[in-house]
């Protein structure tokens, strides 16, 4: 398996622009998580989905952030409009099901490093 | 609610020395426990996990951790570290049958020659 795939790996944009981050979970996994990592706040859970349905979005910082999971193999995290304080590394992780039946472990993607100028 | 405390933000150690990274958690229910490692500019990689059974868990790269229910701890150990172990280590806890993870603030292990 290719693992969790995220794109782009790096994104540089200007304040006010829309940013879309993409994630493909491990095939067969039914839970997907979006995290943000910064030096100041560490690793924060933004939102997670189970069977494509958002279960807990209490970590989403504000209305500028939105996440979707239209199907089991794809999710997006959108920031509109972006601000310099959104600069961070955004990780996607998935868990559950799959060939190994490992439902209790989260597997992380390589992350997207976002810089908002 | 669950919380995870990693008391040491940074741990410097010389190569081939033993190391222990501390993790304490608070929870009133049964939990699963995890250690992840993050190498520079990479994602988090699972090091080891405790779900049930033996309280001593062995992971990759020679690491092991011991679950201590009475002390609510899950400390990570390695008897002899290598330069390549330099990374940040995260402890995480989740409730049984729940997906949500709670991560500690991380411990940066710096192995010196």
**Among B46, B90, B100, beta carbon nearest to A105:** B46
Q: What is the SS3 assignment for A76? A: strand
Contact status of B105 with chain A (Cβ, < 8 Å) = yes
Q: Name the residue facing B100 among A4, A56, A110 (closest C-beta).
A: A56
Give the Cα separation of B38 and B108 in Å (integer): 9
pLDDT confidence band for B29 (50 / 70 / 90): confident
pLDDT cut 70: percent of chain B above it: 96
Q: Does the beta carbon of A59 lie under 8 angstroms from any beta carbon of chain B?
A: no
Contact yes or no for B44 and A91 at CB 8 A: yes
Q: Give the pLDDT band of residue B57 (cuts 50, 70, 90).
A: very high
The mean pLDDT of B68-77, rounded to a whole number, is 94
- A107 touching B, CB under 8 A? yes
Q: Looking at residues B75-81, what average pLDDT do you find? A: 97
Which parts of chain A sit beneath pLDDT 50? Answer: none
Whole-number percent of chain B with pLDDT over 90: 72
Band of pLDDT at residue B95, cut at 50, 70 and 90:
confident
Residue B15's pLDDT band, with cuts at 50, 70 and 90, is: very high
* Whether A31 contacts chain B with CB within 8 A: yes
pLDDT for B31: 84
Residue A72, classified by CB atoms within 10 Å of its CB into exposed (0-12), middle (13-18) or buried (19+), is: middle
**pLDDT for res A97:** 64
Does the bond joining A8 to the residue before it have cis omega, within 30 degrees of 0? Answer: yes
Please report the pLDDT score of residue A87 as a whole number.
Answer: 97
Q: What is the model's pLDDT at position A9?
A: 95
* Spatial separation of the C-alpha atoms in residues A90 and A66, rounded to whole Å: 13
Interchain pair B99, A108: CB under 8 A: no
B34, B45, B106: residue with CB nearest A42: B106
Q: What is the pLDDT of residue B3?
A: 86
Contact A108, A6 (CB under 8 A): no
pLDDT of residue B83: 96
CB contact under 8 A, B49 and A45: no
């Amino acid at each position: 398996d290719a693992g969790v795939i995220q794109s782009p790996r790096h994104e540089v944009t200007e304040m006010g622009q829309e940013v879309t981050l993409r994630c493909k979970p491990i095939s067969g996994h039914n839970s997907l998580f979006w995290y943000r990592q910064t030096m100041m706040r560490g690793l924060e859970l933004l939102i997670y989905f189970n069977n494509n349905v958002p279960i807990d979005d209490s970590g989403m910082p504000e209305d500028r952030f939105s996440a979707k999971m239209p199907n089991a193999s794809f999710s997006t995290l959108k920031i509109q409009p972006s601000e310099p304080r959104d600069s961070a590394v955004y990780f996607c992780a998935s868990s559950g099901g799959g060939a190994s039946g490992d439902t209790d472990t989260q597997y992380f993607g390589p992350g997207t490093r976002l810089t908002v100028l | 609610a669950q919380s995870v405390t990693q008391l040491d933000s940074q741990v410097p150690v010389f190569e081939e020395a033993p190391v222990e990274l501390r993790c304490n958690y608070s929870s009133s229910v049964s939990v699963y426990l995890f250690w992840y490692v993050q190498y520079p500019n990479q994602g988090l990689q699972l090091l080891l996990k405790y779900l049930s059974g033996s309280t001593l868990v062995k992971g990759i790269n020679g690491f092991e951790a011991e679950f201590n229910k009475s002390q609510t701890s899950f400390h990570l150990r390695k008897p002899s570290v290598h330069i390549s172990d330099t990374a940040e280590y995260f402890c995480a806890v989740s409730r049984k049958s729940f997906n949500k993870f709670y991560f500690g603030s991380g411990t940066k292990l710096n192995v010196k020659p």
